[in-house]
Amino acid sequence: MRLVLLTTLLFATVVHAQQPAAPKPKAFIDTAQTDDDFAIQGEYVGDIDGRTYGVQIWAQGGGKFEAVSHLGGLPGAGWDGDRATITRVSGTRAEGEKSAAFATADGTIKAEVNGASILVNNADGVKLMELNRINRESPTLGARPPENAVMLFDGKGVNRFPKSRVDEKWGALMEGITSEDTFGDCSLHMEFLLPYMPDARGQGRGNSGLYLQGRYEVQMLDSFALEGKDNECGGLYKIAAPKVNMCLPPLTWQTYDVELTTAKYNADGKKTANARITVKHNGVVIHENQELPGATTSAPNQEANTPGPIHLQNHGNPVRYRNIWVVKK
């Protein structure tokens, strides 16, 4: 009996060990090489009975989608901020089709999305409203540095990130880099592009991070149309969620504009005040004078009374960065 049991366990162990690893979700970094779902994913706005609605549709892979509706307009552009009014409806795109179909659980409202508009009907097929696609752009995209700024990367010859790699298609830096310059109190502007990864979920979906002083992370993640948690785009990991989820669809250039006030120490090296941070994501304030009790999770540098570099994290996903500059205070 013991021999049979041992053989069974050994066989099970061998079979388990031989199971192939799950394939890594594909990451698209070129809009010309995406799938058929990419054209449907995006933001749409329309009106009914004097009320505006903003709808974000995100691709979940294999022709599956979720449509997220906001009363008043899109996040940062009219949405009333009431999370209780947000609705989420699933949809599918049949193989070979160019549009996706959505329906509420009770079937009373149906919608067809073709990538240019959303046509919403009732159960009898009567048109209720139409929403048109919009492509938002951050108001600080392409912001020029003031004369007293330290330009870290301009795509035109200035690159103060040693051992960095440049994506020639975008003229942008690739993930996993640290600046040679260090900073204390400062203002920072940067632009970033997240990959399209419809089959990925959670922290595996376009993950990176902006670490100020190599200590304090502002998360980067494709969290378009998600809840906006502290581990999603714009979040301060395990410290604070963004006030509003301003993440735009993947393969859209986005911006962070950050004000950092560093931690303060007395003559004995004892910390007397925590660091504080204000963050604008795509021009909208998502953190205002938020206290940072210490270095965030996975920070390459521990908190200390010294300047620190700008670090852009490599979390295994292709994220791109450009127009990075800092003003020392």
Cβ atoms within 10 Å, residue 312? 25
State residue 21's pLDDT score.
67
Residue 142 lies in a domain: no
Residue ending a domain, among 109, 134, 159, is: 134
Tell me: do 203 and 322 sit in the same domain: yes
Tell me: do 164 and 263 sit in the same domain: yes
Tell me: do 104 and 179 sit in the same domain: no
Residue 121 lies in a domain: yes
Residue 196 lies in a domain: yes
Tell me: do 176 and 251 sit in the same domain: yes
Residue 144 lies in a domain: no
- CA triplet 82, 203, 57: central angle to 5 degrees? 45
Residue 22 lies in a domain: no
State residue 202's pLDDT score.
83
CATH of the domain at 123: 2.40.128.50
| pLDDT surpasses 50 at 14 | no
State residue 207's pLDDT score.
96
State residue 227's pLDDT score.
94
State residue 302's pLDDT score.
96
Tell me: do 129 and 172 sit in the same domain: no
Residue ending a domain, among 104, 134, 164, is: 134
Q: What percent of the chain has pLDDT over 70?
A: 93
CATH of the domain at 285: 2.60.120.560
| pLDDT surpasses 90 at 23 | no
State residue 18's pLDDT score.
59
How does the average pLDDT of the chain come out, rounded?
A: 93
pLDDT in tens, 214-243: 999 999 999 999 999 999 999 999 999 999
State residue 3's pLDDT score.
45
State residue 45's pLDDT score.
98
| pLDDT surpasses 50 at 106 | yes
* Full-model pTM: 0.92
Residues 187 and 279 sit within 8 Å (Cβ to Cβ):
no
Q: What is the mean pLDDT of residues 29-49?
A: 95
Q: What is the mean pLDDT of residues 167-191?
A: 97
Residue 71 lies in a domain: yes
Residue 159 lies in a domain: yes
pLDDT in tens, 32-41: 999 999 999 9
Tell me: do 184 and 320 sit in the same domain: yes
SS in 3 state form for the chain?
Answer: CHHHHHHHHHHHHHHHHHCCCCCCCCCECCHHHCCCCCCCCEEEEEEECCEEEEEEEEEEECCEEEEEEEECCECCEECCCCHHHCEEEEEECCCCCCCEEEECCCCCEEEEECCCEEEEEECCCCEEEEEEEECCCCCCCCCCCCCCCEEEECCCCCECCCCCCEECCCCEEECCEEEEEEECCEEEEEEEECCECCCCCHHHCCCEEEEECCCEEEEECCCCCCCCCCCCCCCECCCECCCCCCCCCCCCEEEEEEEEECCEECCCCCEEECEEEEEEECCEEEEEEEEECCCCCCCCCCCCCCCEEEEECCCCCCCEEEEEEEEEC
pLDDT bin (cut points 50, 70, 90) of residue 17 is low
State residue 4's pLDDT score.
45
pLDDT bin (cut points 50, 70, 90) of residue 204 is confident
Tell me: do 166 and 224 sit in the same domain: yes
Residues 232 and 297 sit within 8 Å (Cβ to Cβ):
no
Tell me: do 323 and 195 sit in the same domain: yes
State residue 5's pLDDT score.
45
Residue 157 lies in a domain: yes
Residue ending a domain, among 134, 165, 182, is: 134
Query: How many domains does one find in the chain?
Result: 2
Tell me: do 160 and 129 sit in the same domain: no
State residue 20's pLDDT score.
66
Domain boundaries, position 221? 150-328
Tell me: do 254 and 280 sit in the same domain: yes
Tell me: do 83 and 175 sit in the same domain: no
State residue 299's pLDDT score.
96
